[in-house]
């Protein structure tokens, strides 16, 4: 640390209540401040011994106060998102006023020169109110962590994020630690090296004290002390290994090759004395693994947004090996440990961050100003974009972004492509490409398909040990290792879909109009007899004496959603007593590890084919999934994965399934194995759609009535709002329940009216010799039809208004409905007895939407005119606001629709006879993408780009624009490919 100032300074150092990691890194900075002659008052909820065992000084003052709560963990690997928000509200939001008053008074009483926060939001605000400068020291901030939790809890919790970010914004600057997350709330940033606890003993001293020989392999087992219910067994370790266990409960008995460490053991010394570490990722464990170059076998922790950035840094410096949670709990550790000790960690950055940070804090407290980052505005914008889960960087213009910071991109589908790119230069015949012979099918000239084939060739090259001497992503290595590249591979493709009209009314039997997107999912699959199967080492470890078939899946681009990039299971796991397992059991199987739940969309297709078609799978199956359909944007990324996966599985096993039937089977995957209560239109559009046409389908359950040509003067665009849409979300499900409640009430009302009109034997009701039932026979028949209403969309708007609207409550509690109507007759949703469901709006929407879609379809074939376009646009607007009445709107999609209206009604557009005419939210709503209709003119595209930029200016998010179309899976077919032989590739061209 640099020279000390003339006077002793007073620091108030606040430490977050989330775990001990923050406290332990704080110790190092505090130690340096005290050594420089300053007083440090630490405000923390951690036990005093964390600080006092490392620092014995009269200049250290401990004040035990909890001012925030961090993330509440349901277990060692799972964060409870809702409980985390509830705890934060209880700890920091409700008592905020009293906290601020207390802290301001206390800060003044100790005459603090500087407030330091790691990373307590209210501490920054208290410092500002007390007139004291403040600085944060951290690698993540709570607004970033909680942002994803709010997505799960509902938008009414958004003010929590805004308040946290506002508190951070008053801080003078951020001392940013490596492994950092996006933190746009901070005005300025100063980067420092790793803050790491220094070693107190050498490796040999630690081993000598523990009685462990220098040649013995030692594993450090460190999960933050949460081991309750985890049964450790002797055979979990390779022969001759010893495992040192941190945080074992006092009463837990361990096998003889496991050693329980004392509660107050100094962990850094143990880390440096070990050959590898097994645990969950946190700043402390990662910084120590990197600093002391100890390989780290980690298991993913769910719903903690700090983890991907630390994980990327670990893997970038070749210090990390991921273990599947299933293998952790069942003891298949050996392949991971043997892989870990072959790593050569190469972190070469500084580890003196504590000293550097303390020097910066000392200078700041002395009155010196830190140099402002000239690129601060650009840095904050970049962080804001990443905060929205969309890292959109311009090549060559990145601003000091370390390689480990970039959220992993999809190596196959997110590469920049253009028709002139050399990677797409193919022979005139589509029966081969530069690298593959196409034995069946053709690539249809689709640039994404050609790019996918090129990427497969790159994976084949990567499988050659000669080419495998540079750093590659784990998903690339896993994909390269699972294929037998000399054998045939099958490739299928399925696009996403832009919901032009119909949306959520599909489950009520509506007519829908869907356009396949240009963006698509590719799936490459290979089946191999178990004697030829190439298995990953941890999958091999599960094999008994007789090899058993295995399913291995790699998902490219998985890190964008913090998913595990690989998944594997024994094929026998899908069987129970010689029969396919029940769908409910499969749903539980895939849900046991949230980071691998995505595999249900892929492996679930195999189970559905077993169950519904009786297909018997005997060979191992290797599957590579590469989707260019952006997730969470309401364009059916999940349907594209399901349809492409099932198409590839069917092709590889010689199954002929019509596109319609394939879509129906894929819906079973989503409804029963994934557990999302969607209709079938997404899968139908992906399977049956054609380029530049709208698939017209009546969802009763899935009757394709034709393909509607998009008139040449009309064009559709999709604009992403940046608000993540989830069809499995509570809003979508409750609206569906409300619609089915409404249908049941309509049916019940019609039945009651029939009983009132059944007056055959009542002479007093006769008029001119005619009984009422004879006179109103047609009306009674109509009521009978409505009493057995199969789909809500079969009720006409005028009958809804004339007979039923007043019978439908605005809202109805689940228990009240069940008491009166018993059930809502929907097999894929369940009624929550305590939930208060909207009924009237969700019932009204599909009835009127069906009418709107029919009118829209008819208008598309009308004579081109301004009235035609205006009417089409008006129908879309009406649909959008009907979504909002159901509770499925969002701030982002509403803003985009407003921007379209502003462009449509501006004077320039009117003078040009208009270019954009309407817009609507799509798919399941609650965010996602807006569909826009306009003239097929260059000016229209320019206006779409203008809306994109205006939205970015207002929100900080640059929307993705969907433009163009492509064939559905049925039209594409499949490719059967084989790598060209080396000799043939070397033949000269004639």
Structure token digits, residue 5 = 């100032």
CA distance 339 to 341: 6
Contact, 900 vs 916, CB < 8 A? yes
Which backbone phi and psi does 931 adopt, to 5 degrees?
-95, 135
Residues whose CB is less than 8 angstroms from the CB of residue 95 and which lie 6 or more positions away in sequence, other chains included: none
C-beta neighbour count of 6 within 10 angstroms: 6
Task: Name the residue with tokens 């779409």.
Answer: 944
CB of 492 within 8 A of CB of 651? yes
Joined tokens for residue 122: 């209210």
Beta-ladder partners of 707: 695
Cβ–Cβ contacts within 10 Å for residue 171, how many?
25
**Percent of the chain as helix, strand, coil, to the nearest 5:** 45, 20, 40
Buried b (16+ CB within 10 A) or exposed e, 87-120: bbeebbbeebeebbeebbebbeeeebbbbbbbbb
Q: Are 643 and 663 in contact (CB under 8 A)?
A: yes
Structure tokens at 869: 């376009």
Encoded tokens for 922? 């799509």
Quickly list DSSP for 703-763.
Answer: EEEEEEEPPTTEEEEEEE-SSPP-TTSHHHHHHHHHHHHHHHHHHHHHHHHHHHH--TT-G
Question: What is the predicted pLDDT for the residue at 384?
Answer: 67
How far is residue 494 from each of residues 86, 485, 511, 703, 928, measured CA to CA in Å? 41, 24, 22, 20, 20
Distance, in Å, from the CA atom of 820 to the CA atom of 816, rounded to the nearest integer, reads 6
Low-confidence ranges of the chain (pLDDT < 50): 4, 389-399, 407-429, 728-729, 760-761, 767, 772, 983-990
Give the model's pLDDT for residue 3. Answer: 53
**DSSP count for the chain of H helices, then E strands:** 35, 32
Q: What confidence score (pLDDT) does residue 227 get?
A: 56
So what's the pLDDT on residue 161?
Answer: 87
CB distance 683 to 642 below 8 Å: yes
With contact defined as beta carbons under 8 Å apart, do 589 and 567 qualify?
no
Work out the burial of residue 577: count CB atoms within 10 Å of its CB; fewer than 13 is exposed, 13-18 middle, 19 or more buried.
Answer: exposed
**How high is the pLDDT of residue 20?**
78
Task: List, by residue number, the catalytic residues.
Answer: 682
Instruction: Give this prediction's pTM.
Output: 0.79
């Amino acid at each position: 640390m640099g020279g000390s100032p003339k006077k002793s300074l007073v620091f108030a150092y606040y430490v977050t209540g989330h775990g001990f990691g923050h406290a332990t890194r704080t110790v190092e900075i505090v130690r340096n401040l005290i050594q420089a002659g300053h007083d440090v008052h630490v405000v923390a909820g951690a036990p005093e011994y964390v600080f006092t065992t490392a620092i014995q000084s009269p200049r250290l003052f401990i004040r035990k106060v909890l001012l925030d709560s961090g993330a509440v963990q349901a277990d060692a690997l799972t964060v409870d998102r809702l409980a985390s928000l509830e705890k934060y509200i209880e700890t920091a939001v409700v008592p905020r006023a009293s906290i601020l008053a207390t802290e301001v008074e206390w800060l003044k009483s100790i005459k603090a020169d500087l407030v330091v926060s790691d990373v307590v939001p209210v501490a920054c605000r208290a410092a500002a109110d007390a007139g004291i400068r403040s600085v944060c020291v951290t690698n993540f901030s709570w607004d970033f962590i909680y942002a994803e939790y709010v997505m799960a809890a509902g938008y009414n919790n958004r003010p929590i994020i805004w308040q946290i970010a506002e508190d951070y914004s008053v801080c003078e600057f951020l001392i940013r630690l490596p492994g950092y997350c996006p933190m746009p709330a901070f005005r300025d940033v100063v980067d420092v090296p790793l803050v790491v606890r220094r070693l107190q003993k050498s490796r040999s001293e630690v081993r000598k004290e523990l009685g462990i020989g220098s040649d013995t392999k030692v594993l450090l087992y460190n999960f933050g002390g949460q081991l309750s219910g985890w049964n450790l067994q002797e055979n979990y370790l390779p022969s001759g290994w010893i495992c040192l266990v941190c945080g074992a409960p006092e009463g837990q008995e361990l096998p003889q090759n496991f050693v329980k460490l004392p509660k107050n053991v100094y962990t850094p010394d143990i880390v440096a004395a070990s050959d590898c570490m097994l645990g969950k990722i946190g700043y402390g464990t990662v910084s120590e693994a990197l600093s002391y170059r100890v390989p780290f076998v980690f298991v993913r922790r769910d719903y903690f947004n700090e983890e991907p950035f630390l994980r990327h840094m670990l893997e970038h410096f070749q210090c990390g090996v991921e273990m599947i949670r299933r293998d952790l709990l069942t003891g298949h550790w050996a392949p991971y440990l043997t892989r870990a000790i072959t790593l050569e960690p190469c972190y070469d950055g500084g580890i003196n961050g504590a000293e550097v940070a303390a020097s910066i804090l000392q200078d700041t407290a002395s009155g010196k100003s830190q140099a402002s980052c000239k690129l601060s505005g650009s840095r904050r914008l970049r962080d804001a974009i990443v905060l929205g889960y969309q890292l959109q960087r311009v090549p060559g213009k990145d601003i000091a972004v370390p390689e480990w910071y970039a959220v992993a991109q999809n190596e196959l589908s997110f590469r920049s492509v253009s028709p002139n790119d050399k990677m797409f230069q193919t022979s005139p015949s589509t029966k081969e490409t530069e690298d593959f012979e196409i034995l069946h099918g053709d690539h249809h000239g689709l640039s994404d398909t050609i790019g996918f084939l090129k990427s497969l060739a790159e994976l084949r090259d990567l499988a050659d040990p000669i080419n495998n001497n540079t750093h590659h992503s784990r998903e690339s290595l896993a994909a390269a290792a699972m294929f037998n590249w000399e054998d045939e591979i099958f490739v299928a493709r399925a696009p996403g879909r832009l919901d032009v009209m119909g949306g959520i009314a599909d489950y009520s039997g509506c007519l829908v109009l869907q356009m396949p997107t240009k963006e698509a999912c590719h799936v490459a699959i290979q089946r191999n007899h178990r004697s030829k199967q190439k298995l990953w080492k941890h999958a091999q470890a599960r094999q008994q004496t007789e090899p058993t078939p295995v399913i291995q899946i790699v998902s490219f681009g998985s890190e964008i959603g913090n998913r595990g990039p690989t998944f594997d299971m024994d094929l026998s796991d899908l069987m129970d007593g010689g029969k396919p397992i029940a769908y409910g059991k499969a749903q539980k199987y895939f849900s046991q590890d949230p980071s691998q739940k995505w595999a249900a969309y892929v492996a679930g297709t195999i189970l559905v084919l077993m169950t519904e078609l009786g297909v018997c799978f005997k060979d191992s199956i290797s599957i590579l999934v590469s989707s260019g359909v952006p997730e969470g944007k309401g364009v059916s990324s999940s349907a594209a994965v399901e349809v492409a996966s099932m198409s590839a599985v069917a092709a590889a096993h010689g199954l002929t399934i019509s596109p319609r039937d394939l879509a129906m089977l894929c819906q079973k995957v989503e409804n029963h194995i994934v557990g999302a209560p969607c209709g079938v239109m997404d899968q139908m559009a992906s399977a049956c759609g054609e380029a530049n046409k709208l698939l017209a389908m009546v969802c009763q359950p899935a009757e394709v009535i034709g393909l509607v040509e998009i008139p040449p003067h009309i064009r559709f665009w999709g604009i992403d709002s940046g608000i993540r849409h989830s069809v499995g979300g509570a809003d979508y499900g409750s609206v569906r329940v409300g619609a089915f409640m409404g249908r049941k009430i309509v049916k019940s009302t019609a039945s009651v009216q029939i009983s009132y009109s059944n007056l055959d034997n009542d002479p007093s009701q006769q008029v001119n010799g005619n009984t009422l039932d004879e006179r109103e026979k047609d009306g009674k028949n109509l009521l009978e039809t409505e009493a057995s209403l199969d789909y809500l969309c079969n009720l006409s708007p005028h009958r809804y208004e004339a007979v039923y609207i007043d019978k439908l409550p605005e809202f109805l509690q689940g228990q009240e409905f069940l008491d009166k109507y018993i059930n809502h007759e929907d097999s894929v949703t369940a009624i929550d007895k305590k939930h208060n469901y909207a009924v009237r709006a969700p019932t009204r929407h599909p009835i009127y939407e069906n009418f709107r879609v029919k009118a829209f379809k008819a208008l598309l074939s009308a004579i081109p005119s301004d009235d035609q376009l205006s009417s089409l646009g008006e129908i879309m607007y009406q649909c959008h606001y009907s979504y909002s009445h159901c509770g499925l709107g969002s701030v982002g999609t509403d803003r985009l629709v407003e921007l379209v209206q502003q462009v449509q009604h501006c004077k320039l557009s009117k003078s040009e006879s208009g270019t954009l005419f309407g817009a609507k939210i799509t798919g399941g709503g609650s965010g996602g993408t807006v569909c826009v209709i306009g003239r097929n003119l260059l000016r229209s595209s320019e206006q779409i780009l203008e809306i994109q930029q205006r939205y970015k200016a207002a929100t900080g998010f640059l929307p993705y624009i969907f433009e163009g179309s492509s064939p559905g899976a049925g039209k594409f077919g499949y490719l059967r490919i084989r790598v060209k032989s080396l000799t043939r590739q070397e033949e000269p061209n004639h």
